[in-house]
Structures are given as C-alpha cells and as structure tokens.
Chain A
Amino acid sequence: MAVFEDLSLQERMLLSFEAQEFLYREAALLDEKKLDEWLALLTEDIHYWMPLRRTTTAKEVDREFTRPGDMALFDDDLQTLNLRVRRLGMGRAWAEDPPSRTRRMVTNIRILRCEGDEILTTCNFQLYRTRLNSEEDSWIGRREDLLRRVDGELRLARRHIFLEQTVILAQNMSNLF
C-alpha cells in the first residue's frame, strides 16, 4: 500500500491533479446533463450512497448518520443509477420538465489514501439548483469518492455523500450529487 504522504511531492502533485481533473469533468457532465457520459465513468461495482442524517445530542453524535443497509436518501448500484438516468429520458419526468438548472462546485479535494489502482478522495461540494422562476435549493456537503484506474483511465467506484442537512428542505432530489 502506498501511503499518499510517503510519495514524492511530484508524485503527489500528479495524482492530485489527475483526481481533481476527473472530479471537475464528472461534475461538468452532470451540470450539462450529459448523463450517459457520466454513467460511462462509473465502475460496474459502484456504490452510490447518501445516508440520512439526524440531529442528536453531542454525546450520541456517532448515531448522526444512518448506517449502510438502513434507510438512506440514495443507496444505488449501477443498475439503479442507470434506471434513474433512463427515467429522466423517458418523458413525463415532471420534476425535470421543465429542466431545473444546476451548478456544482467541487473544492477542498484531498487524497486520503492510495492503494494499487485506487485513490480515495474527499472533497467538499455545493450543489446549487434553481427551478422555474423562483425556486432555489442549495446543498452543501462532503463526499468520499473512491477512484479506480481501469484500462489506464480513472473511474468512479464509490461515492458516499454526507449532506449538511437533516430534514431535506426541498420538494425532491431529482438530481445526482
């Protein structure tokens, strides 16, 4: 296992740059609604997960997020992500017709670990969405993305999304994070 900190500065810069470019490109595909191209960046075994979050006392803050296998806002594999994208293209996907407008900011990207073909990254994000004339949603959170090199190209193998929100203050989450 290569510990990121043990790599040379140049190696770290190259790896960081590559991960960052990947995450920016992938965010742009979502903003531009090029969802098929986005799907093509995912590995077969992708786990796309957004647990629920609730307000707890400080003493019980370890129970703040639901655990894998319990209730979640997203708990998707490649098949269900495909289904989400397919559904949007079917017509009568009213939450996105007229389409909402989204812009994603991805910042504070750090590499937590790298091992073999995999790079575990964390980043902060903001997803800003407007709809019709006056509706506005903004989600800020942290992601842990596992990137894997497949045939020389980076792919997204895992995305865990931790939102800074408990009750979702939006009428839907018809977009991807």
Chain B
Amino acid sequence: MAESLIATGRAPWFDVEHGVLDRRIYTDPDIYAEELEKIFARAWNFVCHETQIPDPGDFFMNYIGEDEVIVVRDRSGAIQVLLNSCPHRGNTVCRAEQGHTNSFLCSYHGWNFDLTGGLIGMPGEDTFYRNDVDKSEWGLGRAAQVASYKGFVFATLDPEAPPLEDYLGWVGRLGIDTLATHGDLVAVDGVVKNRIKCNWKLAVDNLYDWYHVKISHGSALRAGLLTDEAMAPMDQMVILGEYGHGIGGPGMSEEQQAEFDARMASGKGEPQWYDLQAQRRLDPAVRETLGPIGTRCLGHPNIFPNLWIALTRQVCLRIPRGPFETELWWFTFMPKDISEEERRHTMFMANHVFGPAGLLEQDDGENWSHSTRGARGTVTRRQPLNFSMGRGHDRVEDDASGQHRIETVVNEHGQRWTYQAWQEWMLADNWQELIANHSMPPKGVV
C-alpha cells in the first residue's frame, strides 16, 4: 500500500470510490505547506462581518492560512484586506486584534501606511533615502479581491479566483442565507478563540458529523442541555456544492414541513424537534430566499475550506496553525429588532454551547487532537481511515426545485465530498485547472 501515494503528489490520498482516506494528510508537513499554497492562498476566505468594522479606521485582524491580514474600513467606506507585514524589514504594522486607527505606523523604523495600505511616510525620506524611493510601489500587500455576501466579507489572495458569488455557487450562498435570513445581523462584540492540537481538516470534517453527537456529547444530552431528537434526528439532508461547499445535518421531510405548517395555521398539535429552526422560516420572503428544499434544510453549511455556519447564529473559522494545531474562532450575530427574550436565548446558546467552555464543544477537542496524534505513528499512519458510511445507498433528488439534495439518515456524504474536493484543489496547479477539473455535485446514486 500507499507508501508512494504522497511521494508522487499526484496519486489519490482519498479513494473516492470506496471512501478511504490516507491519514497522512493530517500530519505530513509537505502536504500542509502545499495546502497553504493551493487551498488557503487560492480560496475565498471569510475575514469578518461588515458590522465588526462599521466606521472608517475600524480594523479587525485575521488570518488567511498563515498569512496575517488586517481587514480595515478605509475613508471611502470600502473594506481593504492588507497583508500585515511592512515591506521594509517585514515587521507587523498592526499588533492589536481589533480597534480603530488613522494609519498603520510600523514600530520598527516608522514607515506609515494609510487605510488602503499606501505608503504615506518614511522617516528620512529626503535626508537618508535622498528621495529615490517611489512610495507608490512600497505599500502593504493587498488581497487580490475582496467582496462581501450579505454582510459576510471574504477575501482571496489569488487574482485568478472567480468572483465570490460564482465561487460560493447556490450551495454556498444558501449556506450563508440560512444565517442571513435570521434578520438584519449585527456582530456581537467578542470573538471566542482557542487552540486545539488537531489538524484543521478534522475540525472541518466534524461539522458534517451527526454520528458523533450521541456519544461525544452524551453527557450534554443526558444532562438535558439539548434533546436527543433535536441533536441527532433520523431525518438528514445533505446538499453538495461546487469547490467543496456543502450543507449536512438535520432536514425536515416534506411530511414534517407539512405537519409544521398545518400546526402553525391551526394552533393545534405537539411541538417537534424542528420547531425552533422552522419558526425562523415562517416568513414567506425567507422561504422564497431559501427555496423549497433550503427551507427544510436545517444542517450545517461549510464554506470551503474552513467556515462553519452553525445553527446558533454563529460561524466558526478553523484557522490552521501548522499541521498539528488549529485555532477556532467563534463569531456571533444578533438580528436587529428581536425581542428581549430571543436576544437572551441567542446569548445563552452562544455562551454555553460552543467555545472552549461550551457544554457541547468541551468534549470535541480531545477527539480531534487524538485523531491527529493517531496519524503520527510510523506504522499506524499507514492504516487508512474509513469514510464509507452510506456510500452507494443514497440517491440525489433532483427535481423542478433545482435544489438537488440527498435525503437520508446519518451519513458521511459531506465528509467524503470535503476530502474529494480537497484532493481536487491539491491536484490543480492554478484556478484555471481547478475550474476545468473540479467535480460537479454528484447525480444519481451516491
């Protein structure tokens, strides 16, 4: 088996047909270096929400892979994404995680940059440099493209990347819409950040994982934080999109949606596990945006590579910190114009479910760090991993709604799709190749 797979760099790490993964993709330092180049430096990456930096001069620091970026609102009101590295010696020009500033003054020799990254001052420009530096050529590096979708700001470092909306496709857009349709969103102050000694892909793959809930989070279910039924319902829906985007998790069946609608109309009937999420989709305009299938879809979207949109009005970025470490960043959103009771509920969930002290997420980290560790043993790492659940047993429904999806039980379609896409990104040398060769979402039996 497989010794040569990584060495050739062209053979499959992920056997798509059988759902078998070479686990060295979690620990191999060369693969990690290539991911930074071929995935993070190429993709559209979520950098912040517009409401985090409402006024000119407001900034928020983030990472694209291991590239540190400053996301800043300039004087014209546009959002700039600048590389946080002074072109003189490379020093960072911004050390705060967020804040407000008029310019970025480098602490080393005092080069000063305006809010669009332009170099506007150099001590000794005339006396020492004798005016022979063209300042217009020595500004901060900038993201190749910046765009936002419904307030969520993304940036790509690759000028060849397709426009954001094309990149997202209908599945990525639907993923963000599941949150954006909660209302006019404002970011709550405070991004919860912690570090886990795991490979970033294990954290990503877990967001589709409705298999682990009853075991990993058994104590939270037993203690009554959340009900079994709501946390791991038998009815699941998976929607797969181009470039690795996807949505996976609970889905209401057509019967359940009909039951819910009838119950809301008549005021009679028993509450069900889907009520909370379904209630947020009562508005016809919301249903119009989500579409008939999207309205029934209550799963977890992932915007490839690493943005999970959670059901708690939060999103979580999984930022790589080397092959063995990942930083989790939780952003929380509050719709304007909601009742005090709903606001309290949102904050309760945001402060008690996820994050390092979250009653659910406490128990995730060690599973991911030990899964990563499991790929470090010389012989152990040669043993492949099984991602076969549901393989060949389900069918993609593709009807007049135009929203193709798989309606089934707990499964690993989303995980397989993630690794398949990951592999295609890694095998493509540039955007042209990726656009030409990436898989379209499957049809028929999956």
Total number of A-B contacts with CB less than 8 angstroms?
A: 130
Q: How far is the CA of A63 from the CA of B350 in the complex (A)?
A: 21
Count of interface residues, chain A, beta-carbon cutoff 8 Å: 40
* Residues of chain B within 8 A of A57, CB atoms compared: 95-96, 99, 101
Q: How far is the CA of A90 from the CA of B197 in the complex (A)?
A: 26
State whether the Cβ of A170 lies closer than 8 Å to any Cβ in chain B.
yes
Are A73 and B365 CB-contacts (below 8 A) given A83-B359, A91-B219, A92-B222? no
State whether the Cβ of B412 lies closer than 8 Å to any Cβ in chain A.
no
Contact yes or no, A74 B356, CB < 8 A: no
State whether the Cβ of A171 lies closer than 8 Å to any Cβ in chain B.
yes
Contact yes or no, A71 B350, CB < 8 A: yes
* Chain A: minimal CB distance from B330 (Å): 8
Contact yes or no, B359 A168, CB < 8 A: no
| Residues from 55 to 101 in A contacting B, C-beta threshold 8 Å | 55-57, 60, 63, 66-67, 69-76, 80, 83-84, 86-88, 90-95
Are A90 and B347 CB-contacts (below 8 A) given A52-B190, A174-B362? no
* Residues of chain B within 8 A of A34, CB atoms compared: none
State whether the Cβ of B68 lies closer than 8 Å to any Cβ in chain A.
no
Contact yes or no, B95 A73, CB < 8 A: no
Classify the interface of chain A: helix, strand, loop or mixed.
loop
Q: How far is the CA of A94 from the CA of B197 in the complex (A)?
A: 16
Classify the interface of chain B: helix, strand, loop or mixed.
mixed
* Beyond A60-B100, A71-B351, A90-B219, 5 additional pairs, beta carbon < 8 A: A55-B97, A56-B97, A92-B217, A170-B195, A174-B362
* Chain A: minimal CB distance from B366 (Å): 6
* Chain A: minimal CB distance from B160 (Å): 33
Contact yes or no, A55 B95, CB < 8 A: yes
A87 closest partner in B (C-beta): B223
Contact yes or no, A168 B193, CB < 8 A: yes
State whether the Cβ of B194 lies closer than 8 Å to any Cβ in chain A.
yes
* Residues of chain A within 8 A of B361, CB atoms compared: 172
Contact yes or no, B220 A173, CB < 8 A: no
* Chain A residues near B (Cβ < 8 Å): 50-52, 54-57, 60, 63, 66-67, 69-76, 80, 83-84, 86-88, 90-95, 166-174
Q: How far is the CA of A20 from the CA of B250 in the complex (A)?
A: 51
Contact yes or no, B189 A66, CB < 8 A: yes
* Chain B: minimal CB distance from A76 (Å): 8
Partner of B223, one of A69, A86, A95, A169: A86
State whether the Cβ of B332 lies closer than 8 Å to any Cβ in chain A.
yes
State whether the Cβ of B357 lies closer than 8 Å to any Cβ in chain A.
yes
* Chain A: minimal CB distance from B440 (Å): 37
* Residues of chain B within 8 A of A80, CB atoms compared: 352
Contact yes or no, A173 B219, CB < 8 A: no
Contact yes or no, A52 B98, CB < 8 A: no
Are A63 and B99 CB-contacts (below 8 A) given A170-B195, A171-B196? yes
Partner of A172, one of B351, B352, B365: B365
Contact yes or no, B191 A71, CB < 8 A: yes
Q: How far is the CA of A38 from the CA of B361 in the complex (A)?
A: 24
State whether the Cβ of B118 lies closer than 8 Å to any Cβ in chain A.
no
- A-B pairs, top 5 by smallest CB distance, nearest first, are A71-B190, A92-B218, A171-B365, A168-B194, A93-B219
Partner of B189, one of A71, A92, A95, A174: A71
| CB 8 Å contact bits of B190-225 with A (1 = contact, 0 = none) | 111111110000000000000000011111101111
25 A-B pairs (CB sep. < 8 Å): A54-B96, A56-B97, A56-B99, A67-B189, A70-B189, A71-B189, A71-B332, A71-B350, A71-B351, A73-B357, A80-B352, A83-B224, A90-B218, A90-B219, A91-B219, A92-B215, A92-B218, A94-B363, A94-B366, A95-B362, A95-B366, A166-B97, A168-B194, A171-B369, A172-B357
* Chain A: minimal CB distance from B278 (Å): 26
Contact yes or no, B97 A173, CB < 8 A: no
Q: How far is the CA of A56 from the CA of B197 in the complex (A)?
A: 26
Q: How far is the CA of A91 from the CA of B191 in the complex (A)?
A: 31
* Residues of chain A within 8 A of B350, CB atoms compared: 71
Contact yes or no, B194 A167, CB < 8 A: yes
Q: How far is the CA of A51 from the CA of B362 in the complex (A)?
A: 18
Partner of A87, one of B99, B197, B219, B366: B219
Are A90 and B223 CB-contacts (below 8 A) given A55-B96, A170-B195? yes
* Chain A: minimal CB distance from B46 (Å): 17
Are A83 and B97 CB-contacts (below 8 A) given A70-B188, A72-B351, A172-B362? no
A72 closest partner in B (C-beta): B351
* Residues of chain B within 8 A of A91, CB atoms compared: 218-219, 222
Contact yes or no, B222 A73, CB < 8 A: no
* Residues of chain A within 8 A of B369, CB atoms compared: 171
